[in-house]
Structure 1
Amino acid sequence: MTSPSIRVAQHAGVCFGVKRALEEASKVLAEQDGSIHTLGELIHNPRVVQDLEQQGAHVAHSVDEVKDGTLIIRAHGVAPQVKQAAEDAGLHVVDATCPFVKRVQDHARSLYKGGYQVVIVGEAGHPEVEGILGCTDGKACIVSSAQEVEFLDISSRVGVVVQTTQTSKNLREVVDALLLRAREVRVFDTICSATNERQEAARALAATCDLMLVIGGRNSGNTRRLFQICHDVCPCTYHIEDAREIDPKWVACASNIGITAGASTPQGQIDDVLSTLKQITS
């Protein structure tokens, strides 16, 4: 029997913002004495979070949990009021917020101060979205799809920002729905370019495969969107967090296997999946 083809998407795995956050955390662990905490999970990858915990960077779910030492702001960012509270508490704050997320926060703040009704296209409750919301004093509206626009009390002037890992298609649909209801709609397309590249590469690869594996935390929004994109064109698509979840039955009848990975998935986890697949198919 001929071994199946195994290919990794051209753009997959750790993005710039995640890489930067991990580098900041590593620097703190190497240089700082005393207690070290991350405010929330540094990135949405359970394995990485567990590794950081073992190295001494513990997860705190609120500023109040941290009495002293260093507090690392997660890659998704936080509301400005939260960061200020940490500084007021006398903590040494290391801001590992992705620069692209900071850009969204800046646009949201500017729109809010300019008198626009701010609409955030994203997932309510997601850490990144909560941080953006804080830049509008909690006054922005959050929508995850165009269908939700009809439930908004729309003003005449609307300003739109978007969670960095959303799809361009979803943003376009929301904006089209807003244009039917508002006199002025000002849009900042703040989707990270790496997100677009990752999504397009995953879609292109999935279209040529009869099995797709999407690697990343189940709490990772961008990984869940990669799964949906791949599943739409390749029904045999599976979302896994690590190589141990691979079922040999998935591979048994596959001729072309594709792999992609979310923005919080280090190369080592991709390599583990490749190694496991090669063992199964050899």
Structure 2
Amino acid sequence: MEIVLAKRAGFCFGVKRATQMAFEAADKGGLTYTLGPIIHSPQVVQRLEELGVKVLKGLDGISEGTVIIRSHGVTSDELQEAVQKQLEIVDATCPFVKKAQEHVKSLSLAGYDLVVVGDADHPEVQGIVSFANGNVFVVGSGEEASTLPKMKKIGIVAQTTQSFENLQNVVLECLLKAGEIRVFNTICDATAVRQEEAKALAGQVNCMIVIGGYNSANTKRLAEVCKELQPKTYHIETAQDLDSAWFADVNRVGVTAGASTPKWLIDEVIERIKKLDNEKNG
């Protein structure tokens, strides 16, 4: 059985940077925390916890130590609280997310009502929204954007893992809502490239394995994109989730992984697939 690994499977630039910063902070010792999970990979979070890095939901009761800002970023209030408490801050916010936060802030100050394209429950979006001073709306699709009220000026940014097509649909609807709109394309290229690559691979194999945290938005989207072309697409978190039945009558398997998936997890999955294949062929 041939196993084909997508070229851009695994850590994107922002996640790689955040993870490196977190492990470097852990190596220094002392009280070290992350505000929320550093990335959407329970396995990486667990490794950091083993090194003494505790995951916090908030800063209540914390008066000293180092706080690492996760790759998705945090709200402006949380950041301000860390500053006021004089905690040492390691800001591992992805630079692309940081850019979206800055655009929201500047558009808001310039008198624009804000539209953020993304998932309202996602921590990245909650962080981006918090940098707005005036009205801000979160929409997940063009259909949702069609219900927005009329506004004078609309500023638009997107969650970094959104598809360009979705941003485009929202922009088209917003053109009907305001006399002036200003759009910043804050989608990370790595997301679009990864999805296109996964689509191409899904069309060339008999089975597709997508590795990544079940809480990872970009991994879920990768699995959806692949499933459209290859019905035998399976989203797994670790090698233990693989089922030998998936590979019956399969001679070519495609493997890709979300932006928060470490290389060692991908390697484990590939080794497990090889082992299952060897067992099948006796």
Name the TM tier (shorter chain). Answer: over 0.9
Which residue of 74, 77, 80 maps to 2:76?
A: 80
Contact kept in structure 2, 1:216 and 1:261, CA below 8 Å: yes
Which residue of 11, 15, 19 maps to 1:18?
A: 15
Alpha-carbon separation, structure 1, partners of 2:7 and 2:222 = 14
Q: Secondary structure at the match of 1:7?
A: strand
The superposition leaves residues 48-95 of structure 1 with CA deviations (integer Å, 9 ceiling, x where unpaired) of 111111110010000114232111111111122211111111211111
Report matched runs for 1:32-51 at 5 Å: 32-33=29-30, 35-51=31-47
Partner in structure 2 of residue 141 of structure 1: 137
Q: 178-187 or 79-88, which moves further after superposition?
A: 178-187
Note the C-alpha offset of 1:182: 2.2
CA distance 1:65–1:49, shift in 2 (3 Å): farther
Report matched runs for 1:150-229 at 5 Å: 150-229=146-225
Residues 1:251 and 2:247 are matched in the alignment:
yes
Contact kept in structure 1, 2:113 and 2:134, CA below 8 Å: no
Partner in structure 2 of residue 8 of structure 1: 5
Q: Which amino acid aligns with 2:34?
A: T
Q: Which amino acid aligns with 1:116?
A: Y
Report matched runs for 1:84-163 at 5 Å: 84-137=80-133, 139-163=135-159
Alpha-carbon separation, structure 1, partners of 2:72 and 2:117 = 15
Note the C-alpha offset of 1:170: 1.1
Note the C-alpha offset of 1:171: 1.0
Note the C-alpha offset of 1:153: 1.6
Q: Which amino acid aligns with 2:6?
A: A
Note the C-alpha offset of 1:11: 1.4
Task: Count residues in correspondence.
Answer: 278
Note the C-alpha offset of 1:147: 1.1
Q: Secondary structure at the match of 2:67?
A: strand
Q: Which amino acid aligns with 1:126?
A: H
Q: Which amino acid aligns with 2:137?
A: C
Alpha-carbon separation, structure 2, partners of 1:148 and 1:253 = 43
Which residue of 270, 273, 276 maps to 1:274?
A: 270
Q: Which amino acid aligns with 2:21?
A: E
Q: Secondary structure at the match of 1:77?
A: coil
Q: 109-118 or 175-184, which moves further after superposition?
A: 175-184
Alpha-carbon separation, structure 2, partners of 1:65 and 1:141 = 32
Contact kept in structure 1, 2:212 and 2:258, CA below 8 Å: yes
Unaligned runs of 5+ in 1: none
Note the C-alpha offset of 1:150: 2.1
Q: Which amino acid aligns with 2:7?
A: Q
